[in-house]
């Protein structure tokens, strides 16, 4: 995902891939939730897109590596701190 681009447009074009990643991430962070795929598709995704369309967010951080493995939370925290320091 290129930063400083239209995230609503990018996410809309890549909806299926992104929803799959959200479901995988939630399975790790919230194991055992029943019907989570339906929850993500019918509640989480529409709410996320509505929120994103009303914001001026233009930066994303990957939480999965190129092999589809979730990146360690400490590394993600350091990435967030790095972005904050550039603002």
Question: pLDDT digits over 47-63, tens only?
Answer: 999 998 888 777 778 88
- Tell me 14's DSSP state: T
Regions of the chain short of the pLDDT cut 70:
1-5
The C-alpha atoms of residue 75 and residue 87 are separated, in whole angstroms, by: 19
In this prediction, residue 5 carries a pLDDT of 64
pLDDT value, residue 68: 77
Q: What is the pLDDT, as a whole number, of residue 24?
A: 86
Say what angle helices 45-53 and 15-29 make with each other, to 10 degrees: 120
- Supply 26's token pair: 């939630």
pLDDT at res. 41: 96
Domain ranges of the chain: 7-86
């Amino acid at each position: 995902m290129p930063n400083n681009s239209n995230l609503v447009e990018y996410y809309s074009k890549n909806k299926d891939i992104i929803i799959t990643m959200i479901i995988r991430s939630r399975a790790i962070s919230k194991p055992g939730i029943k019907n989570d795929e339906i929850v993500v598709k019918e509640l989480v995704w529409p709410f996320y897109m509505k929120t994103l369309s009303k914001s001026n967010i233009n930066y994303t951080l990957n939480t999965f590596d190129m092999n589809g493995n979730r990146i360690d939370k400490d590394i993600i925290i350091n990435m967030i701190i790095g972005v904050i320091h550039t603002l």
